[in-house]
Amino acid sequence: MFKYKELEDHVTYIAPLPSLKNVIIGLNGSYFPDINSLKHKNIAYLRGAKFSDKIDNDPDISKTLIRDFNQGIIMLLAKRVDAIIGPLDPITVAFNNITIIEQHSNQTLGLPLIVSERTPWIQLSKHSKSGISIKELTAHFQNILKRGDLEKLRQHYLAPQHKIPRDKPIKRLY
């Protein structure tokens, strides 16, 4: 998770992860060269997240709250939203993992507009009853980085993983 002022009393920040680029992206053929190009557009926005103060505070940009990026991609494919906002990797993973039924088999994502870059942190709840040592957790994480396991995990999750069988209807999530 990212660092939020609201979390400071509740978590201990263990270590930063590689920075994530937060983007606005639509389907191929749509392009948003700047934030002004989003005026009077509707974007899928992850409930509880904060990606861009400029977008958050612009009343001319409509936001549809979503529970996860899969729901946002389904809404994008159904043209219920013009674009989706969030970190590029999770959006790409969601797009790759949604089974694209025949009418969407040729769909690809358009060019992303980078709206911010944020650093997520490994965090440990101060209310955790697990007994996890901050020192041990930090040491384990450093070992993961040294072995290159974090990048291997990233590459694993960027590849398409789960497919919904085409002979079953896709449940509408909205």
Give the model's confidence band at 160: pLDDT under 50 very low, under 70 low, under 90 confident, else very high: low
pLDDT average, residue stretch 155-168? 57
- What are the structure tokens assigned to 171, written together? 């449940």
Give the pLDDT of residue 163. Answer: 46
Give the pLDDT of residue 105. Answer: 57
Give the pLDDT of residue 106. Answer: 67
Q: What is the C-alpha to C-alpha distance for residues 65 and 78, in angstroms, rounded to an integer?
A: 16
Greater pLDDT, 117 or 101: 117
- Tens of pLDDT, residue by residue over 34-93, are 999 999 999 999 998 889 999 999 999 999 999 999 999 999 999 999 999 999 989 988
**Residue 12 and residue 135 in contact, taking contact as beta carbons nearer than 8 Å:** no
3-state secondary structure 31-82: CCCCHHHHCCCEEEEECCCCCCHHHHCCCCCEEEEECCHHHHHHHHHCCCCC
Q: What is the C-alpha to C-alpha distance for residues 136 and 130, in angstroms, rounded to an integer?
A: 13
Domain ranges of the chain: 5-158
Give the model's confidence band at 103: pLDDT under 50 very low, under 70 low, under 90 confident, else very high: low
Q: Note the CATH architecture for domain 5-158.
A: 3-Layer(aba) Sandwich (3.40)
